[in-house]
Every structure is written in C-alpha cells, then in structure tokens.
Structure 1
C-alpha cells in the first residue's frame, strides 16, 4: 500500500474493504493528486477511478484541515451521482467527513439542510452549480469559500459538446468565488487524445499548473487485438434478435444496448412476449421507473435489461454475464464503455455479442471492430466557437453578481479563450437587444432577458440544451415517462395506444394545457416515437473503416456463418462503390450520379459547400456520398477540383438548424450562423479527400 495515504484511509482500505493492495492506476494517482496537480485518470469501466481520486483527496483534506465544502464531485447524469453517493459517503465517513448530493431531483428540504450544514464533498452537476451561483437563496461566496478541488467524472461525456464549454466557464467563475485556483481532476474511460483532454480540462490554467495523465492500465499490448470475447452475428430483424436473446445465455444477466429509445421499447415488448424477465432504461422513462428497473435488475439473476446509452456510463447495475449490442454504436469509445460492463468477476472475460439487423449495420459493426482491434479510439474535441454559451454566461454572470463593470466582465473567466475580449460583439448585441442594460459603467440583467429566460427564477439559463417538447404519461398518479406529442395528434382508428416501459397502454385522457396524458394497461398495439432520436453522424475514420470492410478487411473476432454470408453479399452489392486508391464517382441504378467519398458527414458537408456548382441542389449528401448533377463530365470534374482544396467553404446553414443551439436568440444572426457552420465543417478531412484521386466510372 502507498505509504503517503493517510493512515486512517490505509487502515480502512485494508481492514474495511479487505484490499491487499491498490490497482496500478490507483497507486499511480496518489502522488499527483495528493500534490495538488491537475490530473486525468484513465481506466476501463469499473477500473476503480472513484477510489483513485478520493483516497488521496481525503488524505489532503485531513492533512491540510480543509473545512466546509472543499471538494466538488461533478458528473453528467443525476442517476450516476445517486449511484455513487453511498460509496463516497462511506469513504468520507472514515475520516469523520460528510458527503451530500444536490441536483434537480433532490428535495427542497434536503437542499436547505445542505446549505445549513455544508458537506465536505458535494456530488452535483455543472447545471446545479450554475443554479447555486445565480440563486438569490444561496450565499455562494460563503458556500464555496473553502473549495479546493473539483472532480469531473466521465469527463469525456462533457468535453465533446456544449456542456463542456459550460463546465469550463462555471469552473472559472468558481475559482474567482473561492479566491484560488482549483485542482481539476478528470475521470474517463479510454480516449484517443488524453493529453489534449487534460489541457482542455485545465481551462485558463493550461500550461501554468502541473498536470499529469495517469493511465498505466491503458498501455497497449505489444501485438494482437485487445482482450475480449467478441462475436459478430446477423439476424435481419428485431423479431429475430429477440428470438436469439431469448434462446441464448439462459440463467445469465444480460445487458442489451440499442441505438434509439424506440428500439429499446420494441425489443423490450418482444422479449416480454417470449417470457423473458425484461427491464428497460432510457432517458424518456421516469426516474422512478428507471430506478425500479435498475434495482430489480441488480437483484435478479436470469434476466435482461434493454438500454440506450444511459447505462453506458458508470451506473452500477451489479455483475453482468453478457453484453449484447443491437447494430453498432457510433463510436469506438462507446463500445469500450459497454464492453467494460462485463468481465468484472474473477475468472470471467469481457464479452459482447453484436446482433445486426441489416447489411449496412453489419458492415458498420465490422468496421467498428476493425478500429477497436487496432487500438484506435476517437479523440474528444470541444465544438468550436461556442458564442451562444458566451451569451448564456454573460447573463448568468450578471445574475450572479447583480451588476458587473462593463470593462471588468472579461476577468470573470480568467482569460479562458472564447470568454475574453473576442466576446465584445456578443456583449454589445446583448445590450442593444435589451438582454443586458448598461448604466454608469455597469451591466445588469435587462427586460428582454427577464421576459425570455426569467421563468422559475431563470432556471432555463442553467442548462445549455433544450429538449423537444414531450408529454408526460401517467397511470393514476404514477409517472411512466414522456412521449413525443405527435403520437397524440395523428389520426388513429380505434383506441390510441402507446408503448412505454416495454408495455402497451391505452390513452384515456389528454390534458393539453399541462402536457399530460393518462393511460391504462392494454394487451398490445402500442407505439413509441421520439423526435430526433436514433441516428448519429459517423466520422471520417469510421467511414473509411467501412470502406476497408467492403474491400474485404475482416475484424479479428468470431463471425457467425450467417454474418459471413450476408457480409459477402453486401461486399458484392457495393463493390463498384469502393476503390483502395481513392474515391469513386458512379451512376447508380436509379440514374443518380454519386461521389462515394466515405469521408463522414462533416467532411461531405464541407465538400458540398465547396463544389456547389456540381452538387445536386435537392438531395445532396450523407455520411458516405455526395449526389452530383447528372450532366457532370469527367473533364469538368477535373477542372473544378484542381484547386478546390485551396478554396474550401464552410457549409451553408438552414435557419431551422439554428434552433439546435440554445440561446441563439441572444446572438446576432450572423454569429449564430457562423457558429453552426463551423461545427458542420471538417476542413482537414475535406482537403484530404480532394487530395485523393477520383475514379470517374460513369457509363
């Protein structure tokens, strides 16, 4: 055991937990975390990252006699915080310290108790921290005065989208409130760019504070694919998938991942019809429903839980025997998280069975496994130009401070990139549009912000995403979850029936004003639907791996006979669309001329904008190809593309697409459009494609 951990902590690790030693990653984390360095701890799911950060932090807490709330433990999901709370409370109690949880599901009375008697460790979300900073009911300067360290669990889940920018901005404001730089420690599964992810997490302290990536268990093996029992199968339909799941692995606990909530619901219903004990988990089920399912699954033995990515992160559902994947996730990182759910017990192996429903899905699964076998994982990169988050942060800062000097606001984020002097046009727009008012050199909340964001004490300002409107579904007084309102408005014959929680329900009453509907059990016939769910853009490397698979590359995993046969058919069907030496332009059976780039959605969006003269104006592009004008000739193509890499254009942005960015109403339209265009573009990959030879095989 490391001697530089507190003796009381060491005593409990040995005698209470019964550990003979720490894992390599836990041992390696002690010195940098105890020394106060920023750190990124990398380990597979269930790799002991929580203990790796808490044991040395508890040592520092005791050694330096921290008082009040000195550690924030942030996570992307409330369910994950709830799951971690008992374990963290137990560790804190070893030293007579306390842990508490604060998020949207925590009762008002419990929050009052936390404000009255502050826990040493507070488990919360960045959105809840924001609400504390802007709330008139929380003395944030007093509450966070003793803050020294921030732990960000599943940090990769933040870094890749706007929640990451929001997290960084809130951390900078917290350090100003606390009056000191805060130690920042990220916990993550394997990522493709750990050093860059740690630098991102450091925010304004990057390059100024000591930092260390701790990842001794992620060092690649000298040769061969990573360990794991992986099988790739083709079943052709969800009905067949349910038959396979029901017939295999009887007596075992199985976690089945699907890529959409609708698929989860349909598969859950099919499995129950086959007599399989089945539980469901996805974001549109009520918190109580999910907790019941996860608790029952933890305690059961011969059963299945069907889930979206909600169970991909570190929520504990007990020991699993099997992971089954329907089709393929969009990233290798997601697959690694899911694979890491198994093989936790001594003598067991990490395993995953892929059940693919179509030829394209089979090729994508094979491509993902090809990348995995090479040890490749996607880099996690923050989305560029977060101007809408800058607008949100300016409004939140004015709520927090009531008034801020019109020349001092840049100091609030300690020089963090987008929140510095370059944000001046955004602040000017906020003043011009009445979101902020300026008087006597001071900025404060204006009437437009009150009108648009002021409901429920400005709660809408604390979250950077807005979900589509959904109706709450209730049976009696119990909430089941939420559904897309189109299921309640479309014409139906007979009873209106919903599918939720893997069961069918008959709608008995709709409360349009309160967005609620009441249901009672039905035998069958329910339908499930959610807007914008079930599809993700595939990146450049993933699409190029699909091309490799179509060119006969096989992943080093077990492939069933029917999967091998179907993959051979897919390769024969698409042989004319792939070429190892570059891209292909070919006319399909419908007479459409398509450029098969296999470059990913963002690269194809950039190429479409750059070569607009010859791109079809209606049906334009997808992940794999770009539709061209029918009269294009090989000579015209060569002339047009000769210098295209030197004149790349950002993709055009539909006005409707701007609704995907919350707070764009607080931005000038040109800046909102520029933000979205930058996020749709992939200039480097587009240039790389244009540098490849194009095979023009039009007949």
Structure 2
C-alpha cells in the first residue's frame, strides 16, 4: 500500500485524535512507519532529526493495533534512557491515547507505589520504563511477569544510539531476551534515533543476531534547513611555576570575555549551552547571571545536570517550556529528546567527544519548519609561550572542534558507528545473579541458555561461562545445591538485594547537598569542599557549614563567595575518523568560513608549526638524540593499545592524544616494533600487562584470568594497532 493511504490504516479513535490536534497531514516518516508496522512483521528502526515526529511515527500504528486487539496485559513497552524523558513522553502518549481509551503507565524510581500497584493488579495498554526498572521488575515481581507481559507485542527503544554499544545497552538487550519467555508471541522492536549514519547493519545485528526477522530502516529526509554555525576560540595563559591553584587574573579575564560573548549571543532568547564538565556549567551560569544583575535585568540563565536535585532539574525543564527568555547551561542531560520547547540556538563549551553528540545537540535548535539551526562552539586553547611543546602548538582542542564540524557539515553526514562489546563480563555477572534472584535457583545450563546461547552474550563460550561461575562460587557469591541447582549465597543475596544492583554500571559515591529544607544536589566524595569553603551548585553560590560523613550530607548556606565545584572527570572514546580528520585539517590549507578571527589565527599557527617541525612529511618528529614523537592520529582504543604495546617493550611512552612520546631514538623504537610484529602478537599477553584490570561494576567478582581475556576482546584493538605499526615501518623504508 502506498504511503498516501497510511492515514486510513490507523484506528478510528487515533484518526480522530489527529483531527483534534489539527494535523494538516502526516510526515513522510510517519506514513512509512505506519505502513511498515501495520502491514509488515519486521523490526523497525526510525532514523530522523530531532522533532521530526519519530515518537508518533512509532506509536500511531502501535496504538491502532492495541485498540483493535486489546488484551489484559501490557501490549507495548517504551524504554527510555532517562526518567525525565519518560515523564515527557508519558504526557504525549496519554494525549494520543485518550480517544482510544488506552491506559498509559510509567515505572521508575520516582513513580508512587499506588501507580505501580494498579499496573500489577490490572496490566494493560502502554508501559514506559527505564532499563533499570525492568531489572527491578525481574527480581521483585517475577511471579507477576507472565500476567503483566503475556500479550506484549511491541517494544519501542527511544534514543537507541545512546544505548547500543554501552553497558546500559548490553544490560537492556539481555533483559529483552529474557523477557521473551514471558510473552505469548515474539514481540517486535521499534528503535528511534536521530543519529544513525551508515551503521544500520550494526543496529540490525544488535536487534536480531539470529537474523530470524527482518529489520526495516525508515529514514527521514534531509529537510535542507539553513545552518548558522560559528567556532569561537580563546587563548588562556597557563599557570606558571609557583602559582597557587587559583585562577590568575588573566585567566579570569578570559573567562569573563567568553561569558560576555555568550551573553551577547544568547541573552533575551531561549537557548541551550552544553559543556563537557559540570564545573563549567556552574561557572559560566554564575558569570552570566552576574552580568544580568549588573545590567538590572532578571536572571535568565539556568542549570541542568545529573548532580542536581530532581526538583531543580524539573524546574529548569518547566521554565524552558514557558514564554520567558531562558538559556540553560547543561551537561549531556538535555542532549536527548526531553521536550523543553522551541530553542533558538545551541552553544557548546569546548569540543564534545563525538559527531554523534554534536548532531544531537545541534538538533535541539531550529525545530520549527521555518527556523534555521544555530550553533556556536567556544574553544579554549593554551597561550603559546617559550614553555610550549610541539603538541601544545598544534592546538588539539581547536583541531578536534574543526574535525567534528567538518564531519557534521559533510554530505552525506558521517557519525560514529556503535562500538559493540564482545563479552562485557561485568554485565554478564550481574545478569547471572539477576536470573538466580528471579528464579530462586536453576541449573547452570539453563542460565547459560538464557543469557548466552539465546541471549545477549552469545560470544561467551561454555568454558568461559563455567569459569565465571567458578569465580562466583570461590567468592561465595553463588553456591550449588546437591541436586545441581545454582542459588545465591548470602553474599550474593546481599548484592542482588541492594537497590544499586538494578544498574549494571558503577555509580560514584556522592554526598547530598542541602540548604535549610531544600535539597540542592550532589557532590562526588573524591572532590568535596571543606567546612567554610565556597562552591557553586545549581547556578548559585554556597558556603559549607557542616559535613556529615555518616549520612553523606553537606549542609550549606548562601554565600557571596564562589569556587567551581570539582566533579569526577568525564570523557568519551574518540573514533579514528575524527583524529584522521584532525590530521587532514592540519596538513591542508583549506579556509574555513565558520572560524572567527582568533580561531583562524590559531589554526594558521598550528599549520605553521606542523610545517616547521616536519609533520607534513613524516609521522615521526625528533625532539632530541633519544627523544621523539610518533604522530599516530588514531582513535582512543587503538591509541591505548599502542601505548600498552610500547610500555610492554620497555619504551616508557607518554600519551599526547594524537601522538606518543618515546624516550629513545626512532631507529630503536622501529626495531622493537618490528620484532614485536614478528613475534605473532597475542592480545591475551598484552592484556596481562595492563595494570588496572577492574573497570566494570562487578569485575571484582571475576578471576583475573577471565578479566584478561575480556580486556583483550573489549578494550584493545590489536589488529588496528598492528596495522598502524606496519604503516610506520613501511613509511620509514621510503
């Protein structure tokens, strides 16, 4: 059937709701999705820009099927990565469902017990839930799962690109495979994403590893929106020896300059400004509101990040939906599709880690059909002086910002494909304990079948799984009954019974910050201010009154002093294509019209330094008789692998992101790399050399021999590293 007839495939109450909403027509992706879901049996991935109507594209046909064939169970489950996103979608779906009289439920940590009880007693309609809450249901409501999910027909995964390739994604995938044994029919999966790129085959494999069902891709058209884009650069003087840890007057002046530019660019409108560090969110929000006070205008700059209280985050979201001019400085918490109304422009403080993030953030602006998308990047670079080394002179943050921009602006646009893990033994360990908690105990073969042979961990061999069970038995986490069933030992029961178990990733230990009766947010235990110290949080200034170590509480009061809070460092994995683009930009003479004057000057300075030191001719630059740089220009994983190889060869490398500093002659390094390549490199042997082996939340429960094999599979890219070393050797022979 053609897409022109898609509207007539919808149930009558759903059609009437669209008339109520005065929709003039369906969008192309909605028409395509209606036909695919109503008339096909394939799983579906809908890829389109933010605000393109992906949620409606998925749910219009799903709700039509629920209306036409109701059941006494949940029939559609929406999985969202954020509670705020679930709350936002809950309101939208309730509105869509009102004429069809389809119940909509939500389940996460902030939902009251009464609502949960009603769902358990009378399961129906649509359920909105997080991966962690599915885990909690598996453990705490296992006897009710057959009734709750018997008629489940659809699972909608929102922001699927934010889950696939991550610990949470592996966790969710395992839970969905486990959920299938409670359903009468195999449910279909609909994934929603704003950034898919060329990675559809990876997503299809993630959804259907057995290829027992087709996966259909529905892509939104390029709307040809006008894009207004600018990169602003600033130079910051580096602290000199003997300086205190406080910012110098010159550095403070640079921050004031950036704040002034932001104020000029964003004040008086509704915008978002993203930052990689929460401390930057707090610092710039304070500076911008100080500027508001100086000009006798209302404070209009808000904050939003994961360390703030739920009440403050919700206040910010509500204010952004209002009519007053508001700009929110935020971390990645507002990168995903939470509805905050129409945003005029987006800012970004320092370059993000991926094109994926840049696309998501840019997509928050220009949501109306006649509006342009607007984005400004603010990049800080160290000022060059006599102490600056060659890598400093290349201005890597600016190069990264430009590389991401070029890939963002390319046609067709490139985004990073997901990096799928092979084993992820930490999450597998959590799932073993979860299955035993759910069932009360079962045979090892049954656990292996549910999690590995027919589950999310298909690359884990029976031998490795047996070794994992032995690890857990040795640590008295599980035990085996005389008849052969595995059960949780008391230590395992304590782990699975704690609320933190529902999450497969490690959460930092944090102290709650309160002022009077108000909860402000949280600060990490490793970076707490001391009594009488000043700090910024929630865009306001505070002073520490007392610290309760036992209750993990910081009591604060308002104060005129300020210091940016210290949060744990964040970071992401950079794809090799981004680093290659950084090199290409450095080696070219291409003029980039979206750079401001300072950014242009810094780029030209970096290019001049590259020519003067011979980077344009060779990837090896001698710094002294027994010191040189090898410019790798590769991604994080390959760079780390080469670093560990060099360390294992006794070369004492120093990682400079795009280069390795080696304290030896180039000839010595080349000879050692040649011998290594001839030795039939073994990733297991290399993984043994890595000092920090426990990275995952449950790695402490796993024998080191298994962790080593997991590292070799999931954290190293020996093939990519060897290819790069061979290229180095080949170039040296020319």
- In 2: Cα distance, 1:639 partner to 1:653 partner: 19
State the partner residue of 2:331.
308
Q: TM-score, normalised by structure 1?
A: 0.91
Query: Which residue in 2 is equivalent to 1:259?
Result: 276
Pick the aligned partner of 2:562 from 511, 514, 525.
525
- Give me the whole-angstrom Cα distance separating, in 2, the residues matched to 1:489 and 1:251: 34
Q: Which runs of 5+ in 1 are unaligned?
A: none
User: Does residue 510 in structure 1 map to residue 547 in structure 2?
Assistant: yes
**CA 136–40 in structure 1, closer or farther in 2 if over 3 Å, else same:** closer
| Partner in structure 1 of residue 248 of structure 2 | none
1:244 Cα offset (Å): 0.2
User: Match for residue 239 of structure 2?
Assistant: none
Q: CA deviation at 1:218?
A: 5.4
Among 39, 46, 63, which residue is 2:44 paired with? 39
Residue 410 of structure 1 pairs with residue 482 of structure 2:
no
Task: Name which of 313, 321, 342 aligns with 2:365.
Answer: 342
Query: 1:24 corresponds to which residue?
Result: 28
Once the two structures are superposed, the pairs formed by residues 275-286 of structure 1 within 5 Å of their partners are 275=292, 276-286=299-309
SS where residue 424 of structure 1 aligns? helix
The answer to whether the Cα contact below 8 Å between 1:604 and 1:622 also exists between their aligned partners in 2 is no
Structure 2 match to 1:364: 400
TM-score between the two structures when normalised by the length of structure 2: 0.87
Using the alignment, how far apart are the partners of 2:12 and 2:591 within structure 1? 49
Structure 1 partner of 2:70: 65
Return the alpha-carbon distance in structure 2 between the equivalents of residues 330 and 393 of structure 1: 30
Relative to structure 1, is the Cα distance of residues 250 and 406 closer, same or farther in structure 2, using a 3 angstrom cutoff? Answer: closer
Q: Deviations over 1:110-159 (max 9, x none)?
A: 22222223241010011101101110586222222221211100011111
**Deviates further, 594-603 or 392-401:** 594-603
- CA distance in structure 2 between the aligned counterparts of 1:478 and 1:88, rounded to whole angstroms: 32
Please say which of residues 650-659 and 251-260 is displaced more in the overlay: 650-659
Select 1:444's aligned residue among 487, 497, 512.
487
> How far apart in 1 are the matches of 2:143 and 2:302?
39
Give CA-to-partner distance per residue, 1:394-429, whole Å, 9 cap, x none: 110111111212332233246231467352321233
Q: Is the 8 A contact 2:422 2:459 kept in 1?
A: no
Please tell me whether the aligned partners of residues 17 and 96 of structure 2 are also in contact (alpha carbons under 8 angstroms): no
For the 8 Å contact 1:366–1:555, the answer to whether it is kept is no
1:12 is matched with 16
1:426 to 2:479 alignment: no
The equivalent residue for 2:228 is 229
Is residue 2:650 matched to residue 1:627? no
CA contact (8 A) 1:194 1:213 kept: no
Check 1:64–1:108 CA distance in 2 against 1; reply closer, same or farther (3 A cut). closer
Alignment equivalent of 1:668, drawn from 700, 703, 725:
703
- C-alpha contact (below 8 Å) 1:577/1:596 kept by paired residues: no
Give the 5 Å matches for 1:85-96.
85-96=90-101
Q: Structure 1 residues 502 and 519 mapped into 2: Cα distance closer, same or farther (>3 Å)?
A: same
Per-residue displacement from partner, 1:76-104 (whole Å, max 9, x unpaired)? 11111011110011112221101111001
Which deviations, in whole Å up to 9, do the C-alpha atoms of 1:467-513 show, x marking residues without a partner?
221110011121111012344466x8xx2222101211011121110
The match for 2:714 is 679
CA contact (8 A) 1:386 1:418 kept: no
Counterpart mapping for 1:96-135 below 5 A = 96-135=101-140
Residue 474 (structure 1) aligned with residue 474 (structure 2):
no
The structure-2 alpha-carbon separation of the partners of 1:464 and 1:9, relative to structure 1 and needing over 3 Å to count, comes to same
* Match among 291, 295, 320 for residue 274 of structure 1: 291
Instruction: Verify the 8 A CA contact 2:232 2:595 in the aligned structure 1.
Output: yes
Deviation, 1:3, is: 4.2
Q: Once structures 1 and 2 are overlaid, which stretch shifts more, 463-472 or 59-68?
A: 59-68
User: Which runs of no fewer than 5 residues in structure 2 stay unpaired?
Assistant: 236-253, 293-298, 382-394
Residue 649 and residue 267 in structure 1: after superposition, are their counterparts in 2 closer, same or farther (change >3 A)? farther
1:273 deviates by: 1.0
* Distance change in 2, residues 1:510/1:364 (3 Å): same
Task: Say if 2:435 is the partner of 1:397.
Answer: yes
Of residues 164-173 and 437-446 in structure 1, the stretch that sits farther from structure 2 once superposed is: 437-446
Distance 1:379 1:518, change over 3 A: same
Tell me if structure 1 keeps the 8 A contact 2:164–2:170. Answer: yes
Corresponding residue SS for 1:517: strand
Distance 1:624 1:649 in 2: 24
Partner SS state of residue 70, structure 2: coil
Checking the alignment, whether the CA contact within 8 Å between 1:233 and 1:563 is kept in structure 2 is yes
CA–CA separation in structure 1 for the residues paired with 2:362 and 2:593: 14
Matched residue, 1:187:
192
- My pick for the range that moved more, 8-17 or 524-533, is 8-17
- Who is 2:581 aligned against? 545
Q: CA distance change for structure 1 residues 24 and 247 in 2, over 3 Å: closer, same or farther? A: same
d(CA) in 2 for partners of 1:324, 1:160: 27
Contact 1:610 1:647 in 2 (8 A): no
C-alpha deviations, 1:254-305, integer Å up to 9, x for none? 2101111111111111111111511001111111111111211221433311
With 368-377 and 470-479 compared, the bigger mean Cα shift is at 368-377
